Amino acid sequence: MKAVQYRTVGGHPEVVTVPDPEPGPGQVLLKVTAAGVCHSDIAVMSWSAEQLPFPLPLTLGHEGVGTVAGFGAGVTGLTEGESVAVYGPWGCGSCAKCAEGKENYCLRATELGIMPPGLGAPGAMAEYLVVDDPRHLVPLGDLDPVRTVPLTDAGLTPYHAIKRSLPKLLPGSTAVVIGTGGLGHVAIQLLRTMTAARVIALDVTEEKLALARTVGAHEAVLSDGAAAGKVRELTAGLGAQAVFDFVGAPPTTALAGQLAAVEGDVTIVGIGGGTLAVGFGATPYEVSVTAPYWGSRSELIEVLDLARAGAVDVHVETYGIDEAPLAYERLHAGKINGRAVILP
């Protein structure tokens, strides 16, 4: 089968032919319908050999949907041809966090060498994908798989982040979204459907700001030296009750700290190497700073339910598997509007 692989440190993604995988006992084989392209892959492909926590080659793709094409011994409850989404942050299934459905925070994944598909285990950017356990599948039903696949990460990650801040996002509050790309443009829609907050979006190009407005941002502001002043002006000097940073680079984490209101939340989702110090004088009084990772299984079900209710509409650009390297190039250059999705 064809697969999109990251093969050598510092290299580019390549389309290669690899053996068709077989599901082992307890595992499920999916015929992949669609796989999303996430900026985290670009971060992974920028790491040195020492930083890389898994061996190469790696089949990319940690956002995946497919149809059940087979299963190994002991698997029950699935029907061949059924359309499913993959819950990506695989854990052990039995530690205290996994028992809560928070496999993204599995306490034993490192020790047991469990890694998500596309981030250590073979990923979804291929014709077939082996899923290690049926509990990592969520039925899609009638949802359009192509427009839904980004919700497994670009939807689930902001959903989890926003849910933490809901008590602060009361009527009259403000939420700021920094970076309105794959995750950010879904975050804006989630904020609009889950809260009464006024949403201010920040990005670096007019195209991205136009998308932000289309998907529901009340205000869209260029993320430049004047941004902090503009957001303060828009909030009568108070700042935002919640700031979600989907870039996470040094300039944006610093900006996020400046934009927070007293008792506000700063949530750093992007993995651009930025940090934010907390302490007297560093941020306004009682600001909470957090850096969450992905989301829980039940939250993925909730996000898919929101999609079913028509509350989120992911903007997708589709590419054939041979065009996957081009999709990564365009993402790297900031040229994707919404999310790129590969159709193997």
Tally Cβ neighbours within 10 Å of residue 73.
9
- 183 counts as binding ligand NAD under rule CB under 6 A: yes
199 binds, among Zn ion, ligand NAD, none (CB under 5 to 8 A by kind): none
Report the residue number, 86 or 106, with the smaller CB distance to Zn ion.
Answer: 106
Tally Cβ neighbours within 10 Å of residue 184.
28
Residue closest to 185 by CA, chosen among 340, 330, 327, 314: 314
Among residues 3, 30, 39, 259, which is the contact residue for ligand NAD, using CB under 6 A?
39
Binding mask 47-66 for ligand NAD (x = CB under 6 A): --------------------
The amino acid sitting at 55 is: P
Among residues 21, 179, 239, 257, which is the contact residue for ligand NAD, using CB under 6 A?
179
136 binds, among Zn ion, ligand NAD, none (CB under 5 to 8 A by kind): none
Report the residue number, 120 or 264, with the smaller CB distance to Zn ion.
Answer: 120
Q: What whole-number distance in Å separates Cα of residue 340 and Cα of residue 330?
A: 9
- Indicate the burial class of 214 (C-beta count within 10 angstroms; 0-12, 13-18, 19 or more): middle
Helix (H) / strand (E) containing 36: strand 28-37
- 125 counts as binding Zn ion under rule CB under 5 A: no
Among residues 4, 30, 45, 98, which is the contact residue for Zn ion, using CB under 5 A?
98
Among residues 202, 215, 221, 303, which is the contact residue for ligand NAD, using CB under 6 A?
202
Query: In 3-state terms, what secondary structure has residue 44?
Result: helix
Task: Point out which span in 71-79, 130-138, 174-182, 275-283 binds ligand NAD (CB under 6 A).
Answer: 174-182
- 88 counts as binding ligand NAD under rule CB under 6 A: no
- 214 counts as binding ligand NAD under rule CB under 6 A: no
- 252 counts as binding ligand NAD under rule CB under 6 A: yes
Contact yes or no for 108/57 (Cβ under 8 A): no
Q: What whole-number distance in Å separates Cα of residue 61 and Cα of residue 28?
A: 17
Residue closest to 182 by CA, chosen among 342, 336, 344: 336
Contact yes or no for 152/85 (Cβ under 8 A): yes
Helices (H), 202-333: 206-214, 227-234, 250-259, 297-308, 324-332
- 247 counts as binding ligand NAD under rule CB under 6 A: yes
Report the residue number, 101 or 251, with the smaller CB distance to ligand NAD.
Answer: 251
Residues near ligand NAD (CB under 6 A) are: 38-40, 43, 153-154, 157, 178-184, 202-204, 208, 223, 246-248, 251-252, 269-272, 293-294, 331, 334, 336
Residues near Zn ion (CB under 5 A) are: 38, 40, 91-92, 95, 98, 106, 108, 153
